[in-house]
Structures are given as structure tokens and as C-alpha cells.
Chains A and B, each alone.
Chain A
Amino acid sequence: MSETILEIDDLSTQFFTSEGKVNAVHGFDLELERGEVFGIVGESGSGKSVTALSLMDLVESPGRITSGSVGYRNPSFAENMRTSYPDAVDGDLVDLRAIPEDARRSLRGTAFSMIFQDPESSFNPSLTVGEQIAEAVEVQQRATAMPRSGRAKTRGPEYSLGSYLMSMALPSKRYVTESSRARAIELLETVGIPDPAQRADEYPHEYSGGMLQRAMIAQALASEPDVLIADEPTTALDVTIQAQILDLLNELQAETGMTILLITHNLGVVARMCDRVGVMYAGEIVERGTLEDVFDDTVHPYTKGLLGSVPDLEGTADRLQAISGNVPSLLDHEMGDRCYFADRCPKAMDTCLEKPRSFDVDADGRHSVTCYLAEENYDPDRALEEGRFASEGAVSDVGGDSQ
């Protein structure tokens, strides 16, 4: 087994709303190995994106990370932190939850980068694409120049508010330094933008969706990150453009050897890109393993349902194996302490009223499943009537079944 770069343990993020606590992510465990592509797949509302935001420490109020640790392995960073925060450092591993936000922020955009789903709303429409990438380059340069400061803000005369306003008012005034701009153009070329020198001076609205997604990837690469978190990077794009972007990510990953955490609802994208997969349901990973484990030796009924729901492009299955019902409410008081999939599960048993832990399916522990089916042999007679566990207060569950 190669070296782990990220060790996430029991991470929970809750949102405190007027209706109560919402457990968007709870008890999330994950070990990312250096240089792998790990896919998190799940339906909307399963907590995929909140997981990504939690790792980047970008969760906004009313949300808060309520427990857990995020261990990041980086010898030089550990060395820097050792003197100030000895408790947080364990060998090369730094627990990012145990160091103050300032120090954590210095990693954001340098060690961790993120690509968002919608490129059109992720860029500032009033700055040129080149300037925005150059700014990311600047962040990285400052972080390298002053590693101990724990800060990586763009500071200095070029990046002051005054300079920004001047660049708005005077077309000849640039908001970025010449060297960062040159690097930005280089990055645009890396991601396959034709005529990068000219395109760097264009504004986001002059780019097509696919081009803008490339530009966002360029921006994320500015810092040569250890871990790239890609949150639905191709969902807003057409299939032919999606294919281009996936190829680009694959090439870049092979070149730089970075670790990618790919979040998507598209099982095809996962199959194309990922070494290992985690299937998320109601805020937790219910099945994880290598791509082959999860796709071919599926154990969890939810994973089976998900794979059965996808219409086949190669041949026609007569009828899609839909999962009945809807994604459950994540409100704390409605969740209870049981298997959250039980009320939609075709194989639910009495045991499922108790919350299952994660069971290993094979001996080397790479394929694990949070379901009692993985623990004991299943006897179909033990299955209960469908919908038996449906919580009575939840409106959304009535008549969700089309059969």
C-alpha cells in the first residue's frame, strides 16, 4: 500500500437551521493515497459537496464542522507546525482540525485546490481570466516565500484595493504582476486553450462553458496542489466537452501525480476516472473499494440500486431497476439510530433497526460495506415488507414507488 496523503477520521458537518440540526455529513472516514483518483458518488443531498467543502474548510454558516480530524501528510508543513502546535503533529501527519484557521488557510489553494461545478458562476465577471489565474499564482508564490507566516493572502502594492479600482478605471493598468501573468498564460496553454496569450486578456463571458472549465482547472493547478478536489467538474457540460475535460484531467494527473478527489453523481464518469470509489448515502460512505469491487462485486443494496437505475447505452434492459422512495430527511431528530437506507431497501431485516457499522468484505480490508448483509449470510425470508420502516411524519415518502 502506498503512502496516505489524507486521513479523514469521523468527520461530521452539521447545519443549524430553524427546523433543527441537519446532519449533512456524519462519521465520514476516508484515507486518500498519494497519486490516486478517488471518486465519491451519490445522489443530490447525500452530502458529497459538503464533504468537499469541509475538507477545504469552506463550510459557511449556518453550517459547522462539529467533529472529526483531517490528517494531512506533508513533512515540511509538519516541521513548520511542530514548534507552534506540537499536539496537532504526529510524525509527518498534521491534524488540520487542531491547528488555528490562519495556518489552515495557508494550505487552501496551495496544498488543496478545488474545481467547482459551475464555471460560469465561479469566475469574477469583471476581471479577465488571465488576471484571475495570475492571482492564484501569486497566492502560491507568497505562500512559498513566507511559509512560516501561515498566511497566503495576495498582499503587496499590485493587489491592493486601490490597484484593483485603478485597473477597473484605466484599461492600461494591470492588476497582476508581469511574472504571474506569464505563468498564467503558461497554465492556460497546459490546459489546452488555443492562443492562450490572447485568451488571457478576455473576460469570462467571452469563453464557452468547456473553455471556462479548462480555465478553472488552470487556476486550480496554479499552486501545483497535492490534492485536487473536483466537485462535479463536468456536470454543466455537454458530453463531447465532458469527454475532453475528463481526458485533460487524466493527462494532468498522470503528469503531476497529484491526488484527485472526484465528486460526481455520474457513474460513467467514476468508471472512466477513478481507482477507488466511495458510495455516499445520507451523509456517510456506505460502500467503498476499488472500482471493480464496487461495480462488479456490489454488496450494498443501495449501490446495486444505483447501478440498476442507469439505463444501459449498449443494450436495452426491459425495465429499469428503480430504487423506490426518495432520499431521506437529514434532520437530526428524524434520522434515528438505524440504517438510513432501510425504508427504501428491498432486503431490509429487523436487524436494520440498529445502525450497522462498516464491515470488511474481503480479507485485505479494501472493500468495506456499511450493511448487515456484509456480515452475515442473507436469508430472503427475513426481508420485511417494503416501506416498513418509513417514518410516518415524512411527507416525501408517500407514494414514491411507481411499481
Chain B
Amino acid sequence: MSSDQMSEETAEQRTRTDQTAEQPLVRVEGLRKYFYEKDSLLDRLLGNEPVAVRAVDGLRFDVHPGETLGLVGESGCGKSTTGETLLHLQEPTEGVVEFQGENVYELEGADKNAFRRNAQVVFQDPFSSLDPRMTIGKTIQQPLDVHDVGTAEERREKVQELLERVGLSADQIDRYPHEFSGGQRQRIGIARALALEPEFVVLDEPTSALDVSVQAQVLNLLEDLQDDFGLTYLLISHDLSVIRHICDRVAVMYLGEIVEIGLVEEIFQNPTHPYTEALLASVPRASTDERDRERQTLSGDVPSPRDPPSGCRFRTRCPQVIPPDELDLDQPVYRDIMNLRELVERENISLELVSSHAEATDEGPLVDEAHIDEFVEDIKAAVLETALPPREEAVIDEALAHLATEDWDGAAEILKDRYESLCERESPSLGEGPHPAACHLYNE
């Protein structure tokens, strides 16, 4: 994204905040976090270019006081990195996070301590996030010690109070983590996060390591605590039913970007982004109607964040890619052609294996002049799933014939000329309003 767009967005954001009377508790603006591979000293000496893994790539959202905002997405979409970067547990690559109006990354001294007190986190795995050599009392008391709250006696009392509050008993204070079950350990993690009476808690997959019956206990507890202490939550989860149950608003992430954000009811009942739709359709429901429920599954895997697709990142799997205006194609046919293009662009068809007419030689063309037609037919049979209309077939035949001389670029060029979609040229922006979606279908 260019810097012009950035400043434009910032300006928009400002006017928006001015309009809302209520100041958001957390305001995230253009947040980016890249991890670099091949970035060691040796790589630099050898002149290797570092490869950026774009874990989080330009997020903008607000968290309002007292609400629960959900971040949902598949593994590798950058949910957890967002949570960690937001709390400054990771150094951001770019962007601003404001907590109560102050930039978190510029805080120092007492202000920084106050932020650390006010923003806490509960981690996913209750088995590795507690120190096995510390009693749970010590674990919970540690933040109080660090921030020097009250006298030793008061701290211990506070810990006992917290234990009771999260549904454990105060006399368990001197026990060690291994004596507790997964659900109980997660309660300990929650007690520790609440010790400093924070306003904001990031819950990073708080129940994904737990069984459903225990998950229900923990979710109920989290809701009670929110009511009692007026907490604001950022809940990170891959489980859509958990999100639906506990969140007020939800942001759906795909490959480091937010594709849709809005009220939970809105998103679940009227999803606008094709990814959100597919995600919701994929979840199997625990009811007897499930077997007959029609649903469309997404094909393929999530692309690598090292080299994300141009334009809309979801376009390689999207069941609703927008064809160029002059073409009149059914979606399955267009999808099929787009998949073929992807394979050609990535030179990902093993020609010798697909066609018996292709023979690897040291020099000269791969395929004999006389057999080019059969060669093209072989590739189409192996790669395409739908029958093409005659006009498109002619274009594709022409393009694939280039592969006979291993001219991948030539083939890609012909295909691009005819089939390039709006979705790959322009990156859709997440619009304004209560329920924006980053999709060209929606923005038009």
C-alpha cells in the first residue's frame, strides 16, 4: 500500500473518530508485522535478499470500552500475531496502536507500566503457559509483586480472592500446576491476567485446548467476569461458534488482512464477503439436519504469506471472482480458467507427466510440431474440470500451445490479456460504516 493511501486512510479514520462520541479504548491503525527470513548475518554477507513473511498486513479496527471484539480466521492468518503486536509483546513493523488515546509504542516509564497493568493476556495452551516449578499462588501473585501492589499480606489475600472468583478454592493456593486439569489451569491463567485489575484483556484461543464441556464452563466464567469487572475483551479464536456465543463484534481475517468486520449477528446472518460465507458454511452443525445441508466448500489451500496473491488475497480460492465485463462466463468456467492461469503463472504443470507427447530433450522444443494439438488436449484433460465455450477454447488452445516450447511467459501473457480480473488488479479496501467488507462485489 502506498503512503498516500495510508495518509488518506488516517484522515478518514480521524473524521470517523470525531463523529463517534465515544472514544475507543483501543484504536489500531495501519498495523503491520512482517517477519523476515534469510535475514541472518551470513545471509547478508552472501547477499541474500531477506524474505518478508507478511503475518499482519495493514489492520485498522477499534475496540470500544466494555465490548468483546472477536478476531477469527484460519491458522496462519495472523490472529495471534495481531494480539501480541497490539500488546507490544512484538515490535510492530509499521502502524499505530492507541490505548486510551496514547500510542502504545511510544510509551515509556510510568506510562508504560500503567499500560502493562491495564492490558493483559490469557494464552492458548494452559499446559505450557504456567511455570511448573511455581505454585499457582506465586504465579498469580507475580504480577502484583512486579508492579508492587499493596503489602505482602494484601497480595496473598488478593490471590485467594481471585482463586475463589475464577471457581477454584482458596486453599489450593500452594499447589503446583500439574495437580490441575486443563480447564482449571486455564482458570489460573485467567486469575493471573485479572490480578492487576486490567481494563483490557486479549484472550488468545482461551478454550481451544479444552473439551467442549469444560470450554462451556470457561466461556461462562469469562462472561461473568466481564459483567462484574467491566472488562473489554479481544477474543482470538478459530472457532466460529465460540465467537458467535461470546462476541459483540467480530473481525474476519484472511492472510494478514481483515476482510469483514461488524456486529456478530450481522456477520453471521448476512455475511457479505465470500470468504466469511465459505467459512460459516464449512462449520459442521451439531444437529440432525446437518447431513442434508447443502454447502459449498472452498477448494485449495491458503496461499503463502511470503508471496500473497496480488489484489484481493482471497481471489485464488474465491467462488465469486469477478470476470472482465466483456466476457460472459459462468462462474465455474471462469474459476476453472483462473486456476489454469495460476498453474501456468507458477509454471506448476509437469508437462512430461501430463502428456505422452512431451519428451524432455536437451535442446529444441519439448513437443514435436505434429503433436501439438494432442499435447494441448492432454493438458486440458489433466487440468480443466469444466467444458469451455468454443471462443474461450480457442484462446486457451493458443496459449497452451506456447507450452510446447516451454514458453510459460508467452502462455501466461495471452491468458492474462483476456481473463485478467478486477480482483487481481486492485486490492479492495475495507470501507467505512458499521459493517464494511473488503470485496469488490460489495464496494461497487
Contact = CB atoms under 8 A, between A and B. Distances in A.
Contact of B216 (A238, A295, A309): A309
Main secondary structure of the interface of B (DSSP, over half): helix
B53 interface: no
Contacts of A309: 212-213, 215-216
Interface string B64-84: 000000000011000000000
B207 to A, nearest CB: 10
A43 B211 contact: yes
Contact of A322 (B169, B216, B353): B216
Interface residue tally on A, bucketed by range:
35 or more
Contact of B350 (A195, A269, A273, A401): A195
Interface string B172-183: 100100011101
Interface residue tally on B, bucketed by range:
35 or more
B290 interface: yes
B429 interface: no
Nearest to B339: A194
A320 B297 CA distance: 29
B280 interface: yes
Contacts of B280: 313
A208 interface: yes
B329 interface: no
B116 interface: no
Given A307-B286, A400-B183, A243 B212 contact: no
Contact of B213 (A295, A322, A395): A322
B241 interface: yes
Interface stretch (B33-41, B133-141, B217-225, B397-405): B217-225
Interface in B368-382: 382
A321 interface: yes
A89 interface: no
B181 A326 contact: yes
A313 B297 contact: no
Interface in B226-248: 238, 240-242, 244-246
B414 to A, nearest CB: 22
B418 to A, nearest CB: 23
A190 interface: no
B213 A266 contact: no
Nearest to B167: A402
Given A309-B215, A311-B242, A322-B216, A272 B168 contact: no
A296 to B, nearest CB: 6
Contact of B286 (A195, A243, A271): A271
B183 A310 contact: no
Contact of A268 (B75, B268, B290, B299): B290
Contact of B180 (A198, A244, A396): A396
A384 B146 CA distance: 46
Contacts of A211: 301
A399 interface: yes
Interface string A376-403: 0000000000000000000110111111
Contacts of A401: 167, 217
A337 interface: no
B90 to A, nearest CB: 23
Given A309-B215, A402-B167, A316 B245 contact: yes
A267 B184 contact: no
Contact of A324 (B217, B246, B298): B217
A342 interface: no
A314 interface: yes
Contacts of B211: 43-44, 265, 327
A310 B241 contact: yes
Contact of B244 (A44, A195, A273, A313): A313
Interface in B276-322: 278-288, 290-291, 295, 297-299, 301-302
Contacts, number: 166
B279 A272 contact: no
A314 B167 contact: no
Given A311-B244, A313-B240, A320-B245, A398 B220 contact: no
B244 A319 contact: no
B179 A271 contact: no
B52 interface: no
Given A195-B349, A243-B297, A305-B213, A320 B220 contact: yes
Contacts of B175: 395
B370 to A, nearest CB: 24
Contact of B301 (A241, A273, A296, A396): A241
A285 interface: no
Interface string A240-261: 1111101100000000000000
A295 B297 contact: no
B354 to A, nearest CB: 8
A200 B145 CA distance: 57
Given A240-B282, A400-B184, A326 B214 contact: yes
A243 B295 contact: yes
Given A208-B301, A319-B220, A326-B183, A399 B172 contact: yes
A268 B219 CA distance: 19
Nearest to A234: B284
A353 interface: no
B348 interface: yes
A269 B75 CA distance: 19
A68 interface: no
B126 to A, nearest CB: 13
A291 B290 CA distance: 10
A364 interface: no
5 contacts: A268-B290, A311-B216, A313-B244, A313-B268, A400-B184
Top 5 A-B pairs, shortest CB-CB distance:
A268-B284, A311-B245, A322-B216, A267-B286, A271-B290
Given A43-B212, A317-B245, 10 more contacts: A197-B353, A198-B353, A239-B282, A240-B278, A240-B297, A241-B74, A241-B301, A242-B284, A320-B245, A327-B211
Interface of A: 43-44, 195, 197-198, 208, 210-211, 238-244, 246-247, 265-273, 291-292, 295-296, 305-314, 316-317, 319-324, 326-327, 395-396, 398-403
